[in-house]
Chains A and B, each alone.
Chain A
Amino acid sequence: MREIHISNVSGVNLEALDEGLRALPGAPVVGISLRRGALIVHLETEADEVQADAIRSLVSGHDPQQPSAAQQARKTREAQLKSAHDDAMAARQAAAGAGDLSERVALLTRRIDWLEKLLEALVAGEKTL
């Protein structure tokens, strides 16, 4: 296995950088490690210099503020969950003054929608009890 060591690294978004490196053409990347301020990129033994240069270039242009696709998806789900939670709380308030049965069912449905999203987040490990 080959390794590329890059010293004095700070502010790495490990998930995003890992995703970016694995998406490189030919992707000889086994993974990355961070320890004592150094970034180590682990490569397949057969990785060549062209691939190594592409990796160094990607690392030097890494923006830790830029989320990975999975981080972006989690952020979107988090926003959806918060929105559903706020809506469920509003529905709870409105339930007291609800008139007919269909209105009450509609309000209950909004609360169930939040619970569904919450359960999905719990199962995905994005929320803990």
Chain B
Amino acid sequence: MSPAWHTPLTWQVDQLVTEADLNSQLRDNLGFLKNPPTAFVSLDEQTDYVTSSNDFVDADRTRLALSLTTAGGDLLVVFFGMLRNPSNNGGGSLDVALDGSRTGKDDGLVGIDTGSTHWQPVSFCALLREVPAGQHNLHLQWKRSHRSGAIYMSVGAGTTNADYHPQFWAREIS
């Protein structure tokens, strides 16, 4: 867990620097910078995930979920994994919900637009700006596109030649 962040003081001439000042301004703030609020998940499940939803839904409300308490500022949110929609006209989209609201608009942050039986690498590196201080919950959301087929995610289920382990993580970076 990250130490608390303390707003840096503006030092004055002849100001007495106390033990509390040093501990909060140096120890805690350096500790915060070295170990910023971070939440991380990597999947290793028994069966691959799949959805045929036309609208964005949580990919896994329990496992593909991040919770972290921030000092307020920008959040870096990262996902990478392997997806496919075997339907010839199919595709799929990914998005992130911050405290229940999607951060990408329209068709989300990223996706695949061609149906294929082959797994395709999909990733995003999203910056969520000016997130207020406090506890936040992030969920990976997904949907199929073109209202066709179903979108699959490889989650380390032992699928031959496709035993991939997606990662989903967030870190406060300002």
Residues of A participating in the B interface, judged by any CB pair closer than 8 Å: 1, 3, 14-15, 18, 30-37, 40, 42, 124-126, 128
CB atoms of B88 and A125 under 8 A apart? yes
Considering the complex, give the chain B residue whose CB is closest to the CB of A124.
Answer: B88
Complex Cα distance, B116 from A3, in Å, reads: 28
CB atoms of B52 and A18 under 8 A apart? yes
Residues of B participating in the A interface, judged by any CB pair closer than 8 Å: 45-47, 49-55, 57, 59-60, 63, 86-88, 115-117, 143-144, 149-150
CB atoms of B144 and A31 under 8 A apart? yes
Complex Cα distance, B48 from A33, in Å, reads: 11
Set of chain A residues within 8 Å of B88, measured between Cβ atoms: 124-126
Check A36/B54 contact, CB under 8 A, given A124-B88, A125-B115, A128-B117: no
Complex Cα distance, B57 from A45, in Å, reads: 13
CB atoms of B55 and A33 under 8 A apart? no
Complex Cα distance, B53 from A126, in Å, reads: 22
Set of chain A residues within 8 Å of B144, measured between Cβ atoms: 31
CB atoms of A15 and B150 under 8 A apart? yes
Considering the complex, give the chain A residue whose CB is closest to the CB of B56.
Answer: A1
